[in-house]
Amino acid sequence: MGVLTGRTALVTGASRGIGRGIAERLARDGARVAVHYGRNETAAKETVAAIEAAGGAAFTIGVELGLPGDVEALWAEFDRHADGLDILVNNAGIGNTRPIDEITEQEFDRVFAVNVKAPFFIVRHGMARLRDGGRVINVSSGLARTAVMPDNMAYAMTKGALDVFSRDLSKVLGPRAITVNSVAPGIIDTDNTAGLLYGTEGGWAQAAAISALGRVGETADVADVVAFLASGGARWVTGSWVDATGGSLT
């Protein structure tokens, strides 16, 4: 039996990239996983199929975040499949924004609606469903602590806000033995970073050189950290910002 057997997890933005890696890892540890997606139903079903092929259990939830009624719709769909939640991973987000001299107010509002407002209200409406002793894990970014990519400023700002949310929420949910932490990836090989890694000459080597470990991160590198925080072994870790950048901030 896995360390998360009997528990239910919800991972937002789990159809691809880091979210998919997290969903598959939690399922491998025994959790039944709600695989949330915004638009790509096919990819979400592929994630579920991969989980089931490995002997796990999962189901999809399709709701586009950042729109009116999004959180209510997400929880209504979740309630059709489960009667409570043990692990919430707020991973869904817009990963890139244009420089300050190009971004529009509409784009700015959109990234904050998806990356900050949605996680806040997912928790706000999900607290009654979250069982005592549960886990909330917010996927942040190393860019919340470094100005290495200033053209991605608005995105980095959302992750800074998410970190404050994690810190303060840990005090709110602590009396129920629910831990809350942020996990901050660095550059991870996903379709979201394909332009950086594969679209420019020497992009991969430059990205690898940023890490103290000399390589580009993989989704499993982040998923393993999330899995630890979701486990009983992390029961005394809360309100923390966990650096999962491979030493990119050193």
Q: Which of 155, 166, 182, 211 is the catalytic position?
A: 155
Q: What are 133's strand-pairing partners?
A: none
Catalytic annotation on 140? yes
Measured CA to CA, the distance from residue 77 to residue 196 in angstroms comes to 35
Measured CA to CA, the distance from residue 22 to residue 227 in angstroms comes to 7
Q: Which of 15, 37, 140, 248 is the catalytic position?
A: 140
Instruction: Specify the length of the chain in residues.
Output: 250
Q: Which of 15, 37, 159, 170 is the catalytic position?
A: 159
Terminal alpha carbon distance of the chain: 38
Catalytic annotation on 141? yes
Instruction: Label residue 156 exposed, middle or buried (CB < 10 Å: 0-12, 13-18, 19+).
Output: buried
- The SS3 call for residue 62 is strand
Map 193-230 to HEC letters: HHHHHHCCCCHHHHHHHHCCCCCCECHHHHHHHHHHHH
Catalytic annotation on 155? yes
Catalytic annotation on 198? no
Q: Which of 15, 37, 141, 166 is the catalytic position?
A: 141
Q: Which residues are catalytic?
A: 140-141, 155, 159
